A and B are shown apart, each in its own frame.
Chain A
Amino acid sequence: SQTIHQWPATLVQPVGSPLSLECTVEGTSNPNLYWYRQAAGRGLQLLFYSVGIGQISSEVPQNLSASRPQDRQFILSSKKLLLSDSGFYLCAWSVSGNQPQHFGDGTRLSIL
């Protein structure tokens, strides 16, 4: 069966520091991959999606970037974190076509 892993589960970083959040999927090939951010008391906002290695699309302009160095690995990065980057970050995957997205357990990011 397919599984999705995100780490770390929680992270506290100072303003201006770099960021790297990792997401990996097991048990499937060539998945669509997604990064979402969830602000407190709000729904999820799609940040990036990827349909293949090296293919990244950004949904909203922001201080973050994403990369997909391997088929089942999706990385969310920043060179310099802002206070507004705080939130709960969720990675998700789906097969292509009309199939649901499946979410990881998320990373709680706090910026001090």
Chain B
Amino acid sequence: AQSVTQPDIHITVSEGASLELRCNYSYGATPYLFWYVQSPGQGLQLLLKYFSGDTLVQGIKGFEAEFKRSQSSFNLRKPSVHWSDAAEYFCAVGVPMFSGGYNKLIFGAGTRLAVHP
């Protein structure tokens, strides 16, 4: 069965420090992978996506993620964290529900990021 694991429930970093959020997935075929960010009480905003091609993908707000098939991972990184990055981050794998492309997202439980000034 498809699944997504985000091993870190909470992470705290200092402003200006680098960040890496881990994501591991279980899926039998080539995955479509996503990272979303959720501010408190808000919906989810897409940060970046991986469909195919270059395994290092760039997203909004200075985030990037690297797809590593051998490790079944899609870790999110940012070189220098800003206080406004404090939020919850969700990794998701897209699973085709019917012909024509993916439609169902399997989400991890999320990683809550706190940023110290």
The answer to whether B102 and A43 touch across the interface, beta carbons within 8 angstroms, is: no
Q: Is the CB of A101 within 8 A of B105?
A: yes
- Chain A's interface size range is 20 to 34
User: Which stretch (A70-78, A79-87, A103-111) binds chain B?
Assistant: A103-111
Is A62 on the interface with B (CB-CB < 8 A)? no
Chain A contacts with B in 5-40, Cβ cutoff 8 A: 6, 32
Q: In whole angstroms, what is the CA distance A47 to B102 when docked? A: 16
**B74 within 8 Å of A (CB atoms):** no
| Interchain Cβ contacts within 8 Å, total number | 58
Per-residue interface assignment for chain A, residues 51 to 77, with 1 indicating a CB less than 8 Å from any chain B CB and 0 otherwise: 100000101000000000000000000
Interface residues on B, range: 20 to 34
Query: Known interface pairs A41-B109, A49-B104. Does A100 touch B41 (Cβ–Cβ under 8 Å)?
Result: no
Pairwise interchain contact A105-B43, C-beta atoms closer than 8 A: yes
CA distance in complex: A94, B49 (Å): 14
- Nearest A residue to B49 by beta-carbon distance? A100
Check A97/B100 contact, CB under 8 A, given A90-B44, A108-B41.
yes
> B70 at interface (Cβ–Cβ under 8 A)?
no
Known contacts A46-B104, A46-B105; is A98 also within 8 Å of B43 by CB?
A: no
Binding site for A on B (CB under 8 A): 4, 9, 32, 34, 36, 41-46, 49, 51, 90, 94, 97-98, 100-105, 107-110
In order of increasing CB-CB distance, the 10 nearest A-B pairs are A43-B107, A103-B43, A97-B101, A103-B44, A98-B101, A105-B43, A44-B107, A43-B109, A100-B46, A106-B43
28 A–B contacts from the bound complex (CB under 8 Å): A41-B9, A41-B110, A42-B110, A43-B108, A43-B109, A43-B110, A45-B107, A46-B104, A46-B105, A49-B97, A49-B104, A51-B98, A57-B97, A59-B104, A90-B43, A90-B44, A94-B103, A97-B100, A98-B102, A100-B34, A100-B46, A101-B46, A102-B46, A103-B44, A105-B42, A106-B41, A106-B42, A106-B43
